């Protein structure tokens, strides 16, 4: 009887882990964002990113410095801009955004 209870508990734990992973994947995979850049600026605005509330732009500049834009509320239409011009440089091809 003990062996059956142990197997049942292990099966329930595995089911919970599997369900948790399946439930978490779609929410974390949903991202609806618009991005823009020119020679010195990278911008991002998101209408939906899972359960996140804010997004902010980050860019690597030609002088090696990294700049970060102000937080923009997701779904508000606000944009976050990272300005390499603020550190006297241009934008490299390394840029992106982070959500929280």
6-45 pLDDT, tens digit per residue, is 333 334 333 332 222 222 234 445 789 999 999 999 999 9
Higher confidence at residue 25 or residue 92?
Answer: 92
CB-count exposure of residue 61 (10 Å: 0-12, 13-18, 19+) = buried
Direct distance between the N- and C-terminal alpha carbons of the chain, in angstroms, rounded to an integer: 48
Helix (H, G, I), strand (E, B) or coil at 93: strand
pLDDT at residue 1 is higher than 60: no
Considering the entire predicted model, what is its pTM? Answer: 0.70
Domains, in order of start, for the chain: 30-99 (2.60.40)
Which of 45, 33, 26, 43 shows the shortest CA–CA distance to 85? 43
- Per-residue pLDDT, 30: 74
Cβ(25)–Cβ(50) below 8 Å: no
């Amino acid at each position: 009887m003990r062996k059956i209870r142990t197997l049942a508990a292990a099966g329930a734990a595995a089911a919970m882990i599997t369900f948790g992973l399946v439930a978490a994947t779609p929410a974390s995979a949903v991202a609806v964002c618009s991005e823009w850049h020119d020679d010195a600026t990278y911008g991002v605005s998101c209408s939906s990113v899972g359960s996140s509330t804010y997004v902010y732009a980050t860019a690597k500049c030609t002088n090696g410095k990294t700049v970060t834009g102000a937080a923009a509320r997701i779904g508000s239409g606000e944009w976050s801009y990272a300005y390499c011009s603020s550190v006297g440089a241009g934008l490299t091809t390394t840029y992106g955004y982070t959500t929280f």
